[in-house]
Amino acid sequence: MKITDIRNATAPIASPIANAYIDFSKMNASVVAVITDVVLDGRPVIGYGFNSNGRYGARGLLDERFIPRLMEVPPEDYSDGTMLDPHRSWDLLFRNEKPGGHGERSVAIGVLDMALWDAAAKIAGVPLWRLLADRYRQGEADEQVFVYAAGGYYQPGKGLDALKDEMRGYLDLGYTVVKMKVGGAPLDEDLRRIDAVLEVLRGDGSRLAVDANGRFDLDTAIRFGTAVAPYGLRWYEEAGDPLDYALQAELARHYDSPMATGENLFSHQDARNLLRHGGMRPDRDILQFDCALSYGLVEYLRTLALLPDHGFTNRNVIPHGGHQMSLNIAAGLGLGGNESYPGVFQPFGGFADAIAVEDGHVALPQAPGIGFEEKSALIALMRQVTET
Amino acid sequence: MKITDIRNATAPIASPIANAYIDFSKMNASVVAVITDVVLDGRPVIGYGFNSNGRYGARGLLDERFIPRLMEVPPEDYSDGTMLDPHRSWDLLFRNEKPGGHGERSVAIGVLDMALWDAAAKIAGVPLWRLLADRYRQGEADEQVFVYAAGGYYQPGKGLDALKDEMRGYLDLGYTVVKMKVGGAPLDEDLRRIDAVLEVLRGDGSRLAVDANGRFDLDTAIRFGTAVAPYGLRWYEEAGDPLDYALQAELARHYDSPMATGENLFSHQDARNLLRHGGMRPDRDILQFDCALSYGLVEYLRTLALLPDHGFTNRNVIPHGGHQMSLNIAAGLGLGGNESYPGVFQPFGGFADAIAVEDGHVALPQAPGIGFEEKSALIALMRQVTET
């Protein structure tokens, strides 16, 4: 088999929302299509990939460096003749890249890696979660995956009633745990927002996660943690700068309920530093690395392989991003769950059209590949933007 | 004053060399020209910037994100009316960027920051080192800067005699300290290469630095360090992965002579992690952060401001990159020196045409700005590639 073409496009995922750090009005995403000469059902197998929200598309890097590296080599460098090998492809993509500096290119490679795994699973004729379970977990796959609804963004004119309506909507959709943004308003205002959402959750703090998006310094992080400690929240996410491991470790000494972080660490080396220096506690804390932003699944497997050395298991991992790639990884490799954005970042966020969330869990797509073909708005957009 | 245009080009800095990690045959660099409406001597002031070697040019990021952010705002957002403000410009460039993931975009901003400082110093009518000394060091500037010759790369067919000839050439140019690559060959071969170079240096290990470019794992790093310990080398650079702070800290427990690292850390947060977790010793070790790859001088000032908290001073800093921007910073802010590449990465590497290296030091350019106009091959290339 060989790759005959790789198409590279940029699509808007702009949303009129803001977290404590950025607004999303100019956010976009890369979409790639890896076209192969393998024909199934009369059509060439095409693998699709995109990057999840929070980081911009990587069009220039893809065109200038990464797509040429795959297109310039003979097919035997990434294929055994019939099957595409994402691991060998990854080595080709990273050729002549220096260590360190893991950002942006980690998105470019993550997007391509997603498309390569989609194509590989399609060629194998199985959903990706099945392929992963067979290769890496003796065939055992989770039949459903815990998902939580991430929302509660700051929006101009959005009051407490609108926030409560939003959260009620998530419960109506079948979610049991919701997440809201904090840190973009003064503490007392954020506490009123939290109280409002807890009303909707009947006072059950274990069903509410809060996300500061790295906004707090150490004092503010501890002050916020102390203020919300009585609620027993599901988790307290990204209190400080994602690279400030010492802040995270110090917060752990002041905050007993679960903490979560990791969405802005884009390599196994950065993840390892969090595990070594960040004071994260295997008995309760959550790791949120997102393969689509961090060199893809090939690198993710390296990250997951580090966990046992530090007392963690795959169940500690609930990836950022709300996309089907992480859903497949969660089911196939036994992660702790997956993020979901019912309201925003469409059509990239969310799962197959026909699969509803029930009691906070989703079942899995059965189509070969990642399952994009079961999400009609997403596959339509991917096909449209990658057509020449 | 206002910025009337920003030009963005890519130039090859390909060289037929390799370090322990990558080969440089496809390396390139971004060159930008920030054109202002300030007229001096009948011509508009133009600031130039480029990225140093080891990371690729950032054309796509510059076009897609960073140049538009400066061009879309009114001039009062980056200027007080007569003077360009690189600090406020930096805030504009980083708007709507999430924390963490410091790579590639750090190059794009680094290139623009260099051009903005070049323009600002030209508008002020002084060399950049003088502007920095006046603003940040009560006017005190170093009259000359220690430089060392970085070379000793692996090249096909390059034997010990060629290596010795190369090093003799550096001494003939006026350098007193030289650096060579290690880690790209087996230990015994590297030791023969080191012995050969030490012959040229009359056995004085304090005049030889070695650079493993992050190639070693912990065991190999310690084994190499133990093998070279008797030489008392000037420094042992980037033994392991640049983000493996624990490796660096453990190496420090086994290797007493100076260590150096930092060229692949691209933000003050990453630098802080090295200072916190990397076991670097203020009484002997060298920090090599390179502003041109790490968000420019505005961010570099944040990094330098961290040093006293960890017992270091600016004199511990000898930047990677061998360019005139770091030379200006070294003189203006009192760093420990600057890298130099007499043989490679031309015309970006090196200093003003008329200023020779004497006894391991260079004097400073006197032209307003960074001094590019005093390096004829460089300014010719910059003008050529940024002309429309």
Among A98, A106, A243, whose Cβ lies nearest the Cβ of B55? A98
B361 catalytic per annotation: no
Domain final position from B75, B106, B125: B125
B385: in domain: no
**Residue B54 has what pLDDT?**
87
Question: Which of A102, A122, A181, A375 is the catalytic position?
Answer: A181
What is the chain A residue with the closest CA to B275?
A246
**Do residue B120 and residue B157 come from a single domain?**
no
Per-residue pLDDT of chain A (388 residues), as tens digits, is 999 999 999 998 866 667 766 777 788 999 999 999 999 999 999 999 999 888 999 999 999 999 999 999 999 999 999 999 999 999 999 999 999 999 999 999 999 999 999 999 999 999 999 999 999 999 999 999 999 999 999 988 999 999 999 999 999 999 999 999 999 999 999 999 999 999 999 999 999 999 999 999 999 999 999 999 999 999 999 999 999 999 999 999 999 999 999 999 999 999 999 999 999 999 999 999 999 999 999 999 999 999 999 999 999 999 999 999 999 999 999 999 999 998 678 888 888 999 999 999 999 999 999 999 999 999 999 999 898 6
- Res. B349 pLDDT band, cuts 50 70 90: confident
**Which residues in chain A are closer than 8 Å to B216, comparing Cβ atoms?**
none
- Res. B342 pLDDT band, cuts 50 70 90: confident
Q: Is the pLDDT of residue B388 over 70?
A: no
B130: in domain: no
CATH number at residue A321: 3.20.20.120
What is the rounded distance in angstroms from the CA atom of residue B120 to the CA atom of residue B126?
9
Instruction: Please tell me if residue B276 touches chain A, with a CB cutoff of 8 Å.
Output: yes
**Do residue A186 and residue A333 come from a single domain?**
yes
B383: in domain: no
A237: in domain: yes
Cis bond leading into B86, ω under 30°? Answer: no
Domain final position from B95, B125, B155: B125
**Residue A245 has what pLDDT?**
98
Instruction: Please tell me if residue A58 touches chain B, with a CB cutoff of 8 Å.
Output: yes
What is the rounded distance in angstroms from the CA atom of residue B25 to the CA atom of residue B11?
13
**Which residues in chain A are closer than 8 Å to B23, comparing Cβ atoms?**
96
- How close B222 comes to chain A (CA, Å)? 20
For A:16-55, CB contacts with B below 8 A are 21-23, 26, 54-55
What is the chain A residue with the closest CA to B22?
A96
What is the chain B residue with the closest CA to A293?
B101
**Residue A388 has what pLDDT?**
66
**Residue B135 has what pLDDT?**
98
Compute the half-sphere exposure of residue B215: CA atoms within 13 Å on the CB side of its CA: 19
For the segment B220-277, what is each residue's pLDDT rounded down to a tens digit? 999 999 999 999 999 999 999 999 999 999 999 999 999 999 999 999 999 999 999 9
Instruction: Please tell me if residue A59 touches chain B, with a CB cutoff of 8 Å.
Output: yes
B381: in domain: no
- The stretch B94-105 carries a mean pLDDT of 96
Instruction: Please tell me if residue B202 touches chain A, with a CB cutoff of 8 Å.
Output: no
**Which residues in chain B are closer than 8 Å to A292, comparing Cβ atoms?**
none
A130: in domain: no
**Do residue B243 and residue B196 come from a single domain?**
yes
Question: What was the ipTM of the complex prediction?
Answer: 0.96
**Do residue A193 and residue A61 come from a single domain?**
no
Q: Please provide the average confidence, as pLDDT, over all residues in chain B.
A: 95
The answer to whether B248 and B259 have CB atoms below 8 angstroms apart is: yes
B195: in domain: yes
Domain that residue B50 falls in: 3-125
**Which residues in chain B are closer than 8 Å to A242, comparing Cβ atoms?**
99-100
Angle among Cα A150, A154, A159 to the nearest 5 degrees reads: 105
**Do residue B95 and residue B167 come from a single domain?**
no
Number of domains in chain B: 2
**Do residue A190 and residue A256 come from a single domain?**
yes
The residue of B10, B65, B102, B306 whose CB has the most chain A CBs within 10 angstroms, and thus the best one to mutate to test that interface, is: B102
Domain final position from B80, B99, B125: B125
Best CA proximity match to A95, nearest among B353, B27, B35, B308: B27
Backbone angles phi, psi at B38, to 5 degrees: -80, 125
**Do residue A192 and residue A215 come from a single domain?**
yes
**Do residue B203 and residue B224 come from a single domain?**
yes
Residues in chain B: 388
What is the rounded distance in angstroms from the CA atom of residue A184 to the CA atom of residue A155?
11
Counts of helices then strands in chain B (DSSP H, E): 13, 11
What is the rounded distance in angstroms from the CA atom of residue B32 to the CA atom of residue B47?
8
A356: in domain: yes
**Do residue A107 and residue A213 come from a single domain?**
no
CATH number at residue A79: 3.30.390.10
**Do residue B165 and residue B244 come from a single domain?**
yes
The residue of B96, B111, B261 whose CB has the most chain A CBs within 10 angstroms, and thus the best one to mutate to test that interface, is: B96
Burial label for A139, CB within 10 Å (0-12, 13-18, 19+), is exposed
- How close B11 comes to chain A (CA, Å)? 13
**Do residue B160 and residue B58 come from a single domain?**
no
Instruction: Please tell me if residue A73 touches chain B, with a CB cutoff of 8 Å.
Output: no
B254 catalytic per annotation: no
